[in-house]
């Protein structure tokens, strides 16, 4: 772009530029999404309205730090479109390093070539190791067998580190490129998270029971009939988790153990967490089929539940009641005091969200980061 940025900023807003730091941004790609600055001055929050840049030209943005702003000694920052899934990248799709300046006044010119979209592109070298635990893992509680996978950090074999674990339902739709309705692309999302050093985790992916999927994920007697969910929960909790902890480098404690899924997989994960808070400290619940049990009773155990973290997601274009039921579940959790601190529940709503893998894929890394790696 052939622009005299100093002239542009003075024409747009003509204060004395030496009373604060101006950051002027040009970009080769642009759309309707706003641009934010995230950095060591705001705990790297990516959608902080106090640090939203003003657009004042074609692919041209600016932001002014006030004259009395409390600057870190070295100002570190990046540009995002509101989330780490939409952070700046270079022209080849590579991550960019943190930008920095010691300046507290004057003009800082910056340029962004491209922006990530839904966490992609990803780097092959950061892809997790996908390991088939068993084609026929025995489920004694149901007298069945099941295919179960482990997704391990890319450098698992060369590290002495131990990792948190997330147990996910419906493995057929998590990373299978041939899945009929698409997949969550959790392998690609984990690759980007690893590249950005957000955190490393082991995912245990449990395939569903095909024609018996609904029956296995249905807990108790419901509008869907008598389910086998209680036995399935016992399998994951009493059989699978001990096996995983014995055979992989896991952090075994509840604060490092999560369970999750979508739709009916989300519903059975809710019951897993509510009934076993001493085992699962993190719940990832996407588009749960709460209509199956609208009278869900929450009877918290007094011990080991108070610091449980729950990430709830609902889409507005899923059903007439999805958002309503999910909000009610959130409110019931708070009222029952299963969750005593409201900050331990993250309710994410996408008004345009449909009941599909595409939207669950977008939420997955956000949920992982919030549940396991965000301390504030």
Of 260, 259, 267, the C-alpha closest to 325 is: 267
Using a 10 angstrom Cβ sphere, with 0-12 exposed, 13-18 middle and 19 or more buried, the burial of residue 270 is buried
* pLDDT at position 19: 75
Residue 228 predicted with pLDDT over 50: yes
* pLDDT at position 3: 47
Write the CA distances from 139 to 83, 142, 240, 293, 375, integer angstroms. Answer: 40, 6, 9, 25, 36
Instruction: Give the mean pLDDT of the chain.
Output: 90
Tell me the two tokens of residue 271: 């019951």
Contact 266, 292 (CB under 8 A): no
In whole angstroms, give the CA distance from residue 85 to residue 118.
5
What angle separates helix 357-368 from helix 186-195, to the nearest 10 degrees?
30
- Mode of pairing for the β-strands spanning 75-80 and 36-39: antiparallel
Residue 14 predicted with pLDDT over 70: no
Q: pLDDT by residue (tens digit) across 48-80?
A: 899 999 999 899 999 999 888 999 999 999 999
> Does 45 or 255 have the greater pLDDT score?
255
* Residue given tokens 């958002």 in the structure block: 323
Torsion of CA 188, 310, 358, 125, to 10 degrees: 0
* pLDDT at position 168: 98
Sign of the torsion formed by the C-alpha atoms of 366, 368, 371 and 374: negative
Residues in contact with 205: Cβ distance below 8 Å, sequence separation at least 6, in sequence order = 148, 149, 150, 151, 168, 171, 174, 175, 186
Residues in contact with 68: Cβ distance below 8 Å, sequence separation at least 6, in sequence order = none
The residues with which 272 forms a beta bridge, in sequence order, are none
Instruction: Name the pLDDT band for 126 (thresholds 50, 70, 90).
Output: very high
Residue 5 predicted with pLDDT over 90: no
Q: pLDDT by residue (tens digit) across 69-121?
A: 999 999 999 999 988 888 999 999 888 999 999 999 999 999 999 998 877 88
* pLDDT at position 2: 43
Tell me the Cα Rg of the chain.
Answer: 23
Q: pLDDT by residue (tens digit) across 169-180?
A: 999 999 988 887
Residue 222 predicted with pLDDT over 60: yes
Q: pLDDT by residue (tens digit) across 278-333?
A: 999 999 999 999 999 877 778 766 556 668 999 999 999 999 999 999 999 999 99
In whole angstroms, give the CA distance from residue 260 to residue 285.
6
Contact 36, 53 (CB under 8 A): yes
* pLDDT at position 185: 93
* pLDDT at position 295: 72
């Amino acid at each position: 772009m052939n622009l005299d940025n100093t002239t542009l900023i003075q024409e747009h807003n003509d204060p004395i530029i030496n009373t604060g730091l101006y950051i002027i941004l040009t970009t080769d790609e642009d759309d309707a999404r706003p641009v934010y600055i995230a950095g060591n001055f705001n705990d790297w929050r990516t959608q902080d309205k106090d640090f939203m840049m003003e657009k004042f030209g074609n692919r041209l943005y600016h932001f002014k730090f006030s004259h009395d702003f409390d600057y870190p000694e070295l100002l570190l920052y990046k540009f995002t479109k509101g989330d780490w899934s939409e952070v700046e990248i270079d022209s080849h799709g590579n991550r960019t390093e943190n930008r920095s300046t010691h300046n507290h006044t004057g003009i800082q010119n910056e340029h962004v070539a491209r922006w990530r979209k839904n966490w992609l592109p990803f780097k092959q070298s950061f892809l997790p190791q996908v390991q088939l635990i068993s084609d026929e893992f025995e489920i004694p509680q149901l007298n069945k067998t099941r295919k179960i996978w482990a997704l391990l950090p890319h450098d698992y074999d060369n590290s002495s580190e131990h990792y948190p674990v997330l147990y996910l339902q419906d493995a057929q739709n998590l990373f299978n490129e041939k899945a009929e309705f698409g997949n969550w692309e959790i392998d690609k999302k984990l690759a980007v998270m690893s590249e950005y050093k957000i955190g490393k985790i082991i995912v245990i992916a449990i395939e569903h029971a095909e024609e018996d999927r609904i029956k296995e994920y249905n807990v108790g007697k419901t509008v869907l009939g008598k389910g086998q969910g209680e036995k399935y929960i016992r399998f994951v909790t009493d059989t699978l988790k001990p096996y995983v902890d014995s055979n992989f480098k896991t952090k075994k404690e509840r604060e490092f153990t999560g369970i999750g899924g979508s739709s009916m997989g989300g519903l059975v994960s809710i019951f897993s967490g509510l009934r076993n808070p001493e085992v699962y400290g993190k719940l990832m619940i996407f588009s749960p089929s709460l209509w199956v049990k609208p009278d869900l009773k929450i009877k918290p155990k007094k011990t080991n539940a108070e610091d449980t973290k729950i990430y709830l997601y609902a889409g507005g274009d899923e059903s007439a009641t999805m958002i309503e039921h999910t909000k009610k579940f959130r409110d019931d959790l708070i009222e029952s005091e299963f969750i005593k601190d409201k900050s331990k529940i993250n309710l994410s709503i996408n008004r345009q969200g449909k009941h599909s893998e595409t939207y669950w894929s977008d939420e997955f890394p956000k949920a992982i980061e919030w549940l396991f790696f965000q301390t504030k």
